[in-house]
Amino acid sequence: MMHSGWQRVTDLGLGVLRARGADAVPFLQGQLSNDVARAPSGQWQLNGYHTPQGRVIALLRLMRLAADEVLALVPLGLIPPVIARLNRYVLRSKVQLSDDSAQWQLVGCAGAASGLPGSARSLRYDATRQLALIPQADAYEVKADGTRDDWVAADIAAGLPQVYLPTSELFVAQMLNLDLTGGIALDKGCYTGQEIIARAHYRGQVKRRMQRFESEQPCELLAGASGTLADGRNFKVVAAVVRGDGRSEFLAVAPAALGQEEPESPPDPSRSVLAVRPLPLPYALPLA
């Protein structure tokens, strides 16, 4: 259940992937969509990990723990496949990838991350939230007054995407608005999927974009669910939460405007029609 006025959440559904070694940063630089070498010190850096076809396998939020060590927040269910996939490309690079989720306590904070141990690593997550990592050796019982749904609801309001197992490899980077939320560095060198992502950017061919909606009737939506909006546009859910009134607030990828349905996604009469009201995002979608 969502709560208003929450301050802290500990059940985030996220784990910690660690890359360590002399080549940790150069290796990730060649795999992820953002400029890992220039990751800011005071905030989590959003990155996409893509297939060669530009489809998003996972979203990683990075911090540089040391010159040769990077930590990444990833949904727990995606850490094993992401590590397995990245390991295929390690070759002779001096980097070790591991699931370090058990080594850290995660605390999401609305506002400043105060009252945490001195060993906590707290970075800005978005304009209003901090996300802190506390070494398990110093972990203590954090009084959580919010839930995972509260955290996801804040992501939805901020227009921040997430990728889960059911939606891995479904969306091209720009469909998730990674170009609008700071997840792509167009001026960096090559990385997996870069050619497709750059082509979509410079040719402006992205007709489906992540948008924010609320259902007009009570319903429960899950990531990866498909449906049709009342105006005939097909959509696929990125993230959703059920509010106290039973209605869902959600992010979904759909044509940015009527008449822009892609050829491979014609209206499907077998899909259930969902009446929704569009909600604003904190950034503007580009005109297609």
Domain match, 217 and 103 both: no
For residue 168, being part of any structural domain is answered with no
Show the domain range for 92: 8-158
Using DSSP bridges, classify how beta strands 226-229 and 273-274 pair: parallel, antiparallel or unpaired. Answer: parallel
Cβ neighbors of 287 (< 8 A, separation 6 or more) are none
Domain match, 134 and 29 both: yes
Domain match, 129 and 214 both: no
Number of structural domains, the chain? 2
For residue 3, being part of any structural domain is answered with no
| Distance of alpha carbon 31 from alpha carbon 48, whole angstroms | 9
Domain match, 148 and 68 both: yes
Domain match, 135 and 225 both: no
Q: What is the pLDDT of residues 168-212, one digit of tens each?
A: 999 999 999 999 999 999 988 899 999 999 998 888 778 999 999
For residue 218, being part of any structural domain is answered with yes
Lowest mean pLDDT, pick from 109-118, 233-242, 255-264: 255-264
Domain match, 140 and 235 both: no
Lowest mean pLDDT, pick from 42-46, 97-101, 115-119: 115-119
For residue 176, being part of any structural domain is answered with no
Domain match, 15 and 154 both: yes
Please say whether the beta carbons of 239 and 159 come within 8 A.
Answer: no
Please say whether the beta carbons of 225 and 211 come within 8 A.
Answer: no
Domain match, 249 and 138 both: no
For residue 197, being part of any structural domain is answered with no
Domain match, 85 and 217 both: no
Q: Indicate the average pLDDT of the chain.
A: 92
| Distance of alpha carbon 227 from alpha carbon 197, whole angstroms | 26
The percent of residues above 90 in pLDDT, for the chain, comes to 80
Domain match, 20 and 107 both: yes
Domain match, 37 and 133 both: yes
